[in-house]
Structure 1
């Protein structure tokens, strides 16, 4: 005697088969070298750079409208020997640029980095800027909305030259600025 299935069981089996086939087809679409998940993504505003076993992460400047600010970053030594952060300086040949890559209309201000001192980078350790003790590394002349070029030198690793964004000091603040327009939000 032949086995017959009720129509609802046939529909469920067909739906299950279609679901499996569709999920395999969709999974295959993103499983190649051009898949979005295979592309590098940096979720932070700062710049990442590497030199040998030294990795600089989320390098940025938080500054006020006058161009006075502090350098922020994490410097990680992934090597097996000590290294030393020797200096950080503005690239004198580079001019600050606006966020869209265009040169600023006015002549660029001179960008200077202050309070930089040698700091030991122990193997497997991270150095946070601004440092937990002592004065922060200051940046003068970089106004919010511009990119500046900084060169970081080390005792052993090769120097790192990076384009660094300058953000406002209240960039991470969830409250409106005091000088914001008094318009209501709809």
Structure 2
């Protein structure tokens, strides 16, 4: 009897629905696709969207985007959540111009200056969340809830905005 239990018990937790077989996002941000899924060239793939904040009310929008067609990120807006769950003040990220997406060229928002920055957003704070809406010229808009991470901690300390805006990205 003891030998039978010794064989059965270690395998009791084994099954076909193992956690590693389920898709998951191993990053702090969120992933989503915007656009008509039946027309692949019209879809913008957004990966690891999050906000980097070094002080309350301030932030930098971070994400990686790619499309097999051509599109333009025209605006980023949102509303932070306070610690009590209430909504803070709405924000619009400042951008020097549209962010162009072309032909499978990956665009990382924090790789090029100037960054998309948020200022004066009451309630925006590291450790909390925000609803963020990305609007594209062709793909349309998508709203999701994402994380606000602490920009004073690695690896986010490496993300430093320039002192003044420059020309739009191509």
Say whether the fold is shared (TM-score over 0.5). yes
- For the 8 Å contact 1:148–1:163, the answer to whether it is kept is yes
1:88 equivalent in structure 2: 76
Note the 1:10-49 alignment, pairs <5 A.
29-30=14-15, 32=16, 34-49=17-32
2:44 equivalent in structure 1: 54
1:103 equivalent in structure 2: 85
149, 168, 171: which one aligns with 2:131: 149
Structure 1 unaligned spans of 5+ = 1-21, 176-186
Cα distance in 2 between the residues matched to 1:149 and 1:70: 14
60, 63, 67: which one aligns with 2:57: 67
Q: Report deviation, 1:173.
A: 5.1
106, 119, 126: which one aligns with 1:126: 106
Q: Residue by residue, what CA displacement relative to the aligned partner does 1:89-128 show, whole Å, maximum 9, x if unpaired?
A: 12xxx55154xxx514xx7244331125212211211111
- For the 8 Å contact 1:96–1:108, the answer to whether it is kept is yes
Cα distance in 2 between the residues matched to 1:174 and 1:147: 17
- For the 8 Å contact 1:87–1:117, the answer to whether it is kept is no
Instruction: Please report the RMSD computed on the Cα atoms of aligned residues, expressed in angstroms.
Output: 2.9
2:116 equivalent in structure 1: 137
- For the 8 Å contact 2:45–2:66, the answer to whether it is kept is yes
- For the 8 Å contact 1:88–1:116, the answer to whether it is kept is no
| SS of residue paired to 2:65 | strand
Structure 2 unaligned spans of 5+ = 1-6, 36-42, 158-170
User: What's the TM-score, normalizing by structure 1?
Assistant: 0.63
The structure-2 alpha-carbon separation of the partners of 1:120 and 1:112, relative to structure 1 and needing over 3 Å to count, comes to closer
2:141 equivalent in structure 1: 159
Q: Residue by residue, what CA displacement relative to the aligned partner does 1:63-84 show, whole Å, maximum 9, x if unpaired?
A: 123321211110111x2x2111
| SS of residue paired to 2:27 | coil
1:6 equivalent in structure 2: none
Q: How many residue pairs get matched? A: 140
